[in-house]
Amino acid sequence: MRILISVINRYNLFAEQLDVKNAFLHGEIAEEIYMLPLDGSNVDKSKVYKIQEALYGLKQAPKALNDRLNLFIRSMHFEPCGVDLCFL
């Protein structure tokens, strides 16, 4: 990130920040995760929900989003940077 900001500053380029409010909801989880119904819901308490996509609060949500983002970036023929592991 520091390298990118330095290049933007050096060449007087324009940069924008994007904040996706529902970003974690776009990740796909590989594990089987189940959750109990929330308190106050009209669902039988003896049943459980099987989570099929990432939700806020899941420990797997950030990794699921990162995996999907990396897959998208690589589909555009970008390659990981060998010098800075923070890039892909």
In a domain, 87, yes or no: yes
Q: What is the number of other CB atoms lying within 10 angstroms of the CB of residue 54?
A: 22
Cα separation, 80 vs 74, whole angstroms: 8
User: 49 is in which domain, residue-wise?
Assistant: 18-88
In a domain, 56, yes or no: yes
Per-residue pLDDT tens listing for the chain (88 residues): 788 889 999 999 999 887 777 877 878 888 899 988 888 888 888 888 888 888 888 888 888 888 888 888 889 998 877 787 665 5
Q: What predicted TM-score, i.e. pTM, was given to this entire model?
A: 0.59
Structure tokens at 36: 């109990």
In a domain, 13, yes or no: no
Estimate the share of the chain in helix, then strand, then coil, as percent rounded to the nearest 5.
Answer: 30, 5, 60
In a domain, 3, yes or no: no
Alpha helices in the chain (DSSP H): 2-10, 61-75
The conformation of residue 16, written as its DSSP 8-state character, comes to: -
In a domain, 83, yes or no: yes
Alpha helices in 19-77 (DSSP H): 61-75
